[in-house]
Amino acid sequence: MRTKRKWVTLGIAVLILLAAALYAFYAYVLNDQRKEQRLAENAARSSAGLTKVVRSDKSVWDADSIYWVVTGDDKNGKRKLVWVKFTEQGKPSGEPVHTEDASSGLSRGEMGSKIASALPRADIRRLLPGVYYGEFVWQAFYKMEGRYYYQFYRFADGEPIGEPYALPNR
């Protein structure tokens, strides 16, 4: 009986240690990402006057298009999107941020509806604000007919920019 109790106690201790190690690893992996997010949100607060952050999205298209897009409200309660450019090293680039009133472009929901009506068979997997060759855009990642695609849409009016990028099949 004592041997069984020792094994149960040892098993529970090992499980607790394993859970703690997994949590520590998870926190370590996400640390850099969270640090970047905090830097972007602080830049948006100070440069664009945001008083409330609603959402932060990281958008990467190439080495020169690494942006955190922070959505939030200013002191007047007006919703804004703030594009903060980052370097490959995870630091703000030092370039001025770009701020748009949310009302000056399509919302995430409006853009999603527009894509769904234009591509009814598409399964939209992700829709992020970002930058594509210097233009402020919505970046759509979707699956259609067994294949994945990226397509960019102008933030201001939701019009597609160029042709979709088809990812290779496996």
> pLDDT tens digit string along 111-125?
999 999 999 999 999
* 63 DSSP assignment: T
Domains parsed from the chain with CATH numbers: 2-104 (3.10.450.40), 108-166 (3.10.450)
CA atoms within 13 A on the CB side of 11: 6
What's CA 121's distance to the chain center, in Å? Answer: 24
The Cα–Cα gap between 138 and 114 comes to: 12
Tens digits of pLDDT across the chain (170 residues):
678 888 989 899 999 999 999 998 888 877 788 999 999 999 999 999 999 999 999 999 988 889 999 999 999 999 999 999 999 998 889 899 999 999 999 999 999 999 999 999 999 999 999 999 999 999 999 999 999 999 999 999 999 999 999 999 86
Cβ-count burial 129-150 (b if 16+ within 10 Å, e if not): bbbbeeebbbbbebeeeeebbe
**Residues 90, 36 contacting (CB under 8 angstroms):** yes
